[in-house]
Each structure stands twice: as structure tokens, then as C-alpha cells.
Amino acid sequence: MGRSAFRSMVSCVLLLIVPASLFAADAGAAMLYANGAAWLNGAHVPASSAIFTGDLVQTRSDSAANIHAPGSSITVLGDSLVQFEGASLKVEHGGVSVSTSKGLATTAGDVRVAPASSAWTEFNVTDVDGTVRIAARKGDLMVTDDNGTVTLPQGQETTRDESSDQSDKKKNKKRAAGAAPAAGGGVLSTPIAIGVGAAAIGGVTAWVLLRNDNPVSPSKPQ
């Protein structure tokens, strides 16, 4: 086998093996299904994709996206920007509909919404123009903001200010208005992925060079 063919084969093997091992070790993984135009870390989602902690999901006004995680199902509503955080969600703009038996919490600005118990709970959270709207569809909710924590009973709705700091509101709205940053939280951008990939590539490169019959710097250039 020629040197160039061998190197190409090794590169392909690394691309397959390294991501697979990292995916298996990531406990914050879920599946994302697009219903219309949706983006994951700025890249268009054709139909479905794996999603990991830190990933950003963005939808258009006429589209939606579904996230299926163990014990939880989340619908990202139209015209929304949401960060998936594994055990929780962060609504930058727009809204989500959450069904969970895992206590999946949702934050919007300074407002945090979480199931009051481990029972199956369904609720909606929307954040538009600095106002957070919360609806407890099934089960009670615990709503926390700068004023403390209150219980929102099943079937009730309430609103909260996204933040008590007006400058924070402007900052958040400006960030949410733009497109989601490209590849912001994927697993391959983590320090672990970079370290594992670099070590594997370095080891293979050293092995190839040691087996090469030609010296790295020949005394008689060809």
C-alpha cells in the first residue's frame, strides 16, 4: 500500500472512531427533529440531528423543532432561539412547550421555571419583548425570579419581567435578534475532543514517519 493511500485510510478511521467514542460518552445527548426550516448552531437541519449540551436551536416564524431526550419532549416554537443544556433549557427568544418526567427546568432571562415534583409535567414558557409568559398545563410549577420562588398551580398562567435590569434586556434582545453562531456547542469543539483527536493524529503521524524508508530531510533533495 502506498504512503498516501495509507495516510488517507488512517484519516478516515480517525474521523469515524473519535466522534463515535465521544458521542457514546456524552450523557447530555438528545435528538432534534425539524418541522420546517430550523438551524442547529447556525447550520441548517435537513430533517434530524443529534443535539448536545450547549447547542443552539433556532426556528423560523413558520417552523418548529422537536427535541426528544430521555424522559422529556420539547417543542421549540416558531421564531425562537433556544439553548439545550441537557438537564435544562435556556430560552433566548421565542418559546418552548415542555413535557417531562425528569424535572427539566427552563430559564428565560432571570426567570426559572421547574416542575414542582418528579411527576409528569407539561408547561409552556415564552419570552417575547422582555415579558416571560408561563403556563402550567399539567402539574404544578415552581417559578423563581428576583422576588423569590412561588408555586404556579396546574391550569394557571402568569407573567414575569425577563430581567429587572433594563440594560440586560437590551443586551439579550440584541443577541437573540441575530442568527445563531455557527458550531457553537458541538461535542467536537470540546477540549476533550480536541485533545483526543490531536493525540491520535500525532501518534499515527509518528508511526508513519518511523516506518518511512526515506529520511525526513534527505541529504540529496529529489
In this structure, are residues 143 and 112 in contact, taking their beta carbons and an 8 Å threshold? yes
Rounded Cα gap, residues 179 and 163, in angstroms: 22
Tens-binned pLDDT, residue by residue, of the chain (222 aa): 554 454 445 444 444 444 443 443 445 799 999 999 999 999 999 899 999 999 999 999 999 999 999 999 999 999 999 999 999 999 999 999 999 999 999 999 999 999 999 999 999 999 999 999 999 999 999 999 999 999 999 999 999 999 866 444 444 544 444 444 444 444 444 444 445 454 544 554 444 444 544 444 444 444
Task: Give the domain 29-186 fold.
Answer: Jelly Rolls (2.60.120)
Rounded Cα gap, residues 14 and 12, in angstroms: 5
- Residue 37, exposed/middle/buried by CB under 10 A (0-12, 13-18, 19+)? middle
Q: Is 181 helix (H, G, I), strand (E, B) or coil?
A: coil
pLDDT score, position 27: 53
pLDDT score, position 221: 44
Predicted model pTM: 0.65
> Domain residues of the chain, as ranges?
29-186
pLDDT score, position 165: 61
